[in-house]
A and B are shown apart, each in its own frame.
Chain A
Amino acid sequence: MIDRVSNQKAWLMVLPVILLVAFNAIIPLMTVVNYSVQETFGNNVFFWEGMKWFEEVLRSERFHASLGRQILFSFTILIIEVPLGILVALNMPRRGIGVSICLVLMALPLLIPWNVVGAMWNIFALPDIGLLGRAINGMGIEYNFTQNPVSAWLTVVAMDVWHWTSLVALLSYAGLCAIPDPYYQAAKIDGAGRWQIFRHIELPKLKRVLTIAILLRFMDSFMIYTEPFVLTGGGPGNTTTFLSIDLVKIALGQFDLGPAAAMSLIYFLIVLLLCWVFYTLMMRSESNTS
């Protein structure tokens, strides 16, 4: 790390960034705060409501249910995507033409607009015309993600795994490529087996990139909206209604601005809290290794 000199004029260099981000972050946030403490019956007439909406949201079973689904979903995809990503990274070629092919094909899902991802999986998984739907039903397993909650849940998870495992894999791959050869050679000479090489060399060296991968995947899955919305619309019932989907339903569907705003703030605070925890952990592990 470079030792930095003290220079207050640096603020000027940061100013454009602050202005642009603040414009997008602070004004809308103030609007949300404003709504969260008022009641409206339309026509721009507002009444002061204090903390009522916050209490209501925090007590509502609906919010608890979406939050629960959200947490379950985020943990499920992490448990699948992280080990799978590492496994793929460990087996990727290190040189030759295969590297480019792997990188390009694996990065492809990352660059598809999120609603196209949803639409694509919709077409892919439909029980009548989709390849996946047909195949699963063909094996004699009853599968219909538009009606069956378990099918819907599994389809959303599969879609997220399809969409984002490559991010974990590419990050891990970059981390693996950065391990110098002598580590492997020394381990070979010390008689270490494949598992021990992974456990004592590769995994410790991947710690940093993995922290970032987990952080990003957790955050992004916590904010997931477009893909499941297009795929299942949150259904059947509320099975795949995650926090963002529920929020948009309340705000734009029912136009309950007060509760929606209060929920937004609670949601944002949860994300911020998690973000802060991860950030602190990450910085600590960074200062440990350097």
Chain B
Amino acid sequence: MAEITLKAIRHSYQANPIAPSDFAIRSVDITWRDGGAYALLGPSGCGKTTLLNIISGLLRPTEGAVLFNGVDVTAQDPVARDIAQIFQFPVIYDTMSVYRNLAFPLVNRGVSGEEVDRRVKEVAGMLDLSEMLNQRAVGLTADNKQKISLGRGLVRSDVNVIMFDEPLTVIDPHLKWKLRSELKRLHQRVGFTMIYVTHDQTEALTFADEVVVMHEGDVVQVGTPRDLFDRPEHTFVGHFIGSPGMNLMPCQIVDGKPIVGHSEIPVDRFFADHDKGNGLEFGIRPECIHLDPAGFPVSVMRIDDVGRYRIIRAEFEGQPLQILVKEEELIPSENLRIRFDRSSIQIYKDGWIVDRGVAK
């Protein structure tokens, strides 16, 4: 087990990268705590898998260093790093039985026969594979095959980190829940550092203690699921996490207060003035907007029923605004007025959160 540090990692798949867009990973500095359960979240093509392969050693970064427990392992191959990785679709050795599949990494490392047998049986027990040990792996269902992939990581006691690259892609939806909760349980039981790559926020938020959000080759935020929701550090996080995502509207700051269109929005903090308001955005989660007869007027475009909630798609100062209201709440048929929850308002400058808001 290990604490993993990425130091100023940059990576490009091109021979002579120049422009920032040539880089799949632009600049990443991050430390993964020993024994933590992390999710690496972002849309397709944001560099998640590249970053994962840099940690596992399948890729050498163009610049920067990878440290395991403070030791530089940048030049080491995956075997020397003692990591395990589970891929999008199950990788199993077709010709071998389940038992031999699980034993394979140990046998390759010269572990003694008795030890192999003990560990394989222990891991098979953990993963509910005990009854299949003598079957050929090729005939199993996708979820059992994926468990074998995972098992090949778990049998090794010296694993520094187990990495999952969208491991549930090919699993039937009804088994996804089951497998995901088993993973969570396993993490608590074995205590390995785990990194789980996904583009699905539900998967990320349910699995991880801490979520790393990536966007266009950069890590934009590291935080607990709660942090990501309450205080997105980048408009991308606000937009990407939550359903629907955060409302974002161009705004100005005058006398420490945000102004959207012609409306001055009351807040609980004081924001420093920003030059003419270029690139400033006002962000508020749909959950943090409340109906209030004394608030700002909005025009309603459409109301969608999504089960326990309804989403009001409205316009405020000419900007689209989505408002989440509970099922039982009454929506006035006309002259809808709203207020923004003061503490939940965030101001962004060029996409990044403005931290200079100070308490009044």
The reply to whether A and B meet directly (CB within 8 Å) is yes
User: What is the interface of chain A, defined by CB distance below 8 A to chain B?
Assistant: 180, 182-183, 185-186, 188-193, 196, 199-201, 203-205, 288-289
Contacts of B260 in A (CB 8 A): none
| Interface residues in B, total, Cβ within 8 A | 25
- Give bound CA distance, A153 to B80, whole Å: 52
Question: Cβ of B109 and Cβ of A191 under 8 Å apart?
Answer: yes
- Give bound CA distance, A288 to B83, whole Å: 33
Report if B93 contacts A (CB, 8 A). Answer: yes
Q: Identify the stretch in B67-75, B84-92, B185-193, B313-321 within 8 Å (CB) of chain A at 4 or more residues.
A: B84-92
User: Apart from A189-B79, A200-B95, what are 12 other A-B pairs with CB-CB below 8 Å?
Assistant: A182-B89, A183-B91, A185-B58, A185-B78, A185-B91, A188-B78, A189-B58, A190-B152, A192-B108, A200-B94, A204-B93, A204-B95
Question: Cβ of A201 and Cβ of B93 under 8 Å apart?
Answer: yes
Contacts of B95 in A (CB 8 A): 199-200, 203-204
Residue of B nearest to A183 (CB): B91
Report if B133 contacts A (CB, 8 A). Answer: no
Q: Given A183-B91, A200-B93 in contact, is the A189-B78 Cβ separation under 8 Å?
A: yes
**Among B53, B79, B93, B138: residue with most chain A CB under 10 A:** B93
Q: How far is the CB of A271 from chain B (nearest CB, A)?
A: 32
Contacts of B56 in A (CB 8 A): 185, 189
Q: Given A183-B91, A196-B108 in contact, is the A189-B96 Cβ separation under 8 Å?
A: no
Contacts of B77 in A (CB 8 A): 188
User: What is the interface of chain B, defined by CB distance below 8 A to chain A?
Assistant: 53, 56, 58, 77-79, 83-85, 87-89, 91, 93-96, 104-105, 108-109, 138, 149, 152, 165
- Give bound CA distance, A203 to B94, whole Å: 10
- Give bound CA distance, A182 to B152, whole Å: 14
Question: Cβ of B108 and Cβ of A204 under 8 Å apart?
Answer: no
**Among A182, A188, A205, A289: residue with most chain B CB under 10 A:** A182
Q: Given A191-B108, A192-B104, A196-B108 in contact, is the A185-B87 Cβ separation under 8 Å?
A: yes
- Give bound CA distance, A188 to B79, whole Å: 7
Contacts of A205 in B (CB 8 A): 94
- Give bound CA distance, A192 to B91, whole Å: 14
Contacts of B89 in A (CB 8 A): 180, 182
Question: Cβ of B105 and Cβ of A191 under 8 Å apart?
Answer: yes
Q: Given A200-B96, A201-B93 in contact, is the A189-B108 Cβ separation under 8 Å?
A: no
- Give bound CA distance, A190 to B77, whole Å: 12
Q: How far is the CB of B170 from chain A (nearest CB, A)?
A: 12
Question: Cβ of B91 and Cβ of A191 under 8 Å apart?
Answer: no
Residue of B nearest to A185 (CB): B58
- Give bound CA distance, A185 to B149, whole Å: 12
Contacts of B105 in A (CB 8 A): 189-191
Which one of B53, B94, B104, B138 lies within 8 Å of A190 (CB-CB)?
A: B104
Residue of A nearest to B80 (CB): A191
Residue of A nearest to B88 (CB): A182
Q: How far is the CB of B25 from chain A (nearest CB, A)?
A: 18
**Among A188, A201, A203: residue with most chain B CB under 10 A:** A188
Question: Cβ of A204 and Cβ of B94 under 8 Å apart?
Answer: yes
Q: How far is the CB of B112 from chain A (nearest CB, A)?
A: 16
Contacts of B96 in A (CB 8 A): 200
- Give bound CA distance, A207 to B332, whole Å: 68
**Among B79, B85, B91, B96: residue with most chain A CB under 10 A:** B91
